[in-house]
Amino acid sequence: MVGGVLSAACVVVEGRELKKTLERISEGNPCEKAEQVRTIKEELEMLPDSSLISAECKRVFELAQKEKERKEAACALSLAHMRREEKEARDDIAFDNADHVVLDTNAKVRDETSEDESTLEIVGKEIS
């Protein structure tokens, strides 16, 4: 008899647990991940079409490429400008050096004496 009562009690407890489990299943899974999936499903309709997202990505990539090309062109222009200034500076130095006439150390001195005045003339080679 004790065995029969124990079996009946087990059936009642299992029946009650089965009823609770079925109620939870019909209500939905209360875990956080299941709730996130439901939220995503509800918000899915608010997302834009993938072709719009793709077009926007292409536009952003094109803008980035144009900006990169613009920066490279500005850098090249700046480099060319610097090189031109360096060349002009070298040319100015060469021009300044050409203004100074250097005489050969083997220059000869001629003494020309005229009736009215005496002059010395230095004759030599220009060295640049």
Angstrom distance (rounded) from CA 55 to CA 9: 66
Residue 97, pLDDT score: 63
Residue 38, pLDDT score: 80
Q: What is the pLDDT of residues 15-31, one digit of tens each?
A: 888 888 878 777 765 67
pTM above 0.85, yes or no: no
Q: What percent of the chain has pLDDT over 70?
A: 70
| In the predicted structure, residue 121 carries a pLDDT above the cut 60 | no
Q: What is the pLDDT of residues 44-90, one digit of tens each?
A: 888 788 888 899 999 999 999 999 999 999 999 999 999 999 888 88
* Better-scored residue on pLDDT, 64 or 10: 64
Angstrom distance (rounded) from CA 31 to CA 112: 120
Q: Which long-range contacts (CB under 8 A, 24 or more apart) does 17-20 make?
A: none
The 3-state DSSP class for residue 116 equals coil
Q: What are phi and psi of 17, to 5 degrees?
A: -65, -40
> What is the helix (H) or strand (E) element at residue 60, kind and residue range?
helix 50-99
Residue 55, pLDDT score: 92
Domain ranges of the chain: 47-95
Q: What are phi and psi of 116, to 5 degrees?
A: -90, -40
